[in-house]
Amino acid sequence: MSTEKKPYTLSILVEDTPGVLSQVARLFSRKGYNIESICAGVTTQPGVTRISVVTIGDEKMITQLAMQLSKLLLVISVDVLTGADSVQRELLLIKVNAPDKDSRDSIIQIVNVFRANIVDMARDTLTIAVLGTADKNNAILGLLEEFGILETARTGMVALERGRNN
């Protein structure tokens, strides 16, 4: 079992009950584990919510955490997802300074290369939506820094296992 610390994504199916997200987050807190990102939403199954949590740890810690989560009453299943066996994406909104035509043109070129979208255009700002991996989103942020990033909002990672396993 590897002792290398790296990011892991946990896909947790839970009963759609008030307080279940708090219960899951409390387990992380009690055990002293940090949540890098957390995202929850309904699934196609009535009464079931998927919670995607990214945390950093080693293989042993993640295995123990998955077992502890699966013992919670409202938890239906817990899957540990890796990049190879899953599709993982996050939404990033970026409001960037674009005071003149040259800046706007340069930003639009970057947006096109990253297959992002301009979702709002004001007189001196552009708001961009990027859907991608954390690496892709961090890369576009790095390129847009020179123009002046005014605000960002990130959803947190959502993930599904590849193939037909569920």
CA 112 to chain centre: 22
> Residue 137: what pLDDT?
96
Percent of the chain at pLDDT > 70 equals 98
β pairing state of 149-154 and 75-81: unpaired
Query: Taking all residues of the chain, what is their mean pLDDT, rounded to a whole number?
Result: 93
What distance in Å separates the CA atoms of residue 76 and residue 88, rounded to the nearest whole number? 21
For residue 92, count other CB atoms closer than 10 A to its CB. Answer: 21
Which residue has tokens 């959502």? 158
Instruction: Retrieve residue 133's tokens.
Output: 């991996």
Please name the residue that has the structure tokens 């940090």.
Answer: 34
Q: What is the DSSP string of 84-97?
A: TTEEEEEEEEEEEE
Q: pLDDT at residue 166 above 70?
A: no
pLDDT, tens digit, 9 for 90 and up, residues 6-50: 889 999 999 999 999 999 999 999 989 999 999 999 999 999 999
Q: Which residues contact 136 (CB under 8 A, 6 or more apart)?
A: 114, 130
The model carries a pTM of 0.83
Position 99 pLDDT exceeds 90 = yes
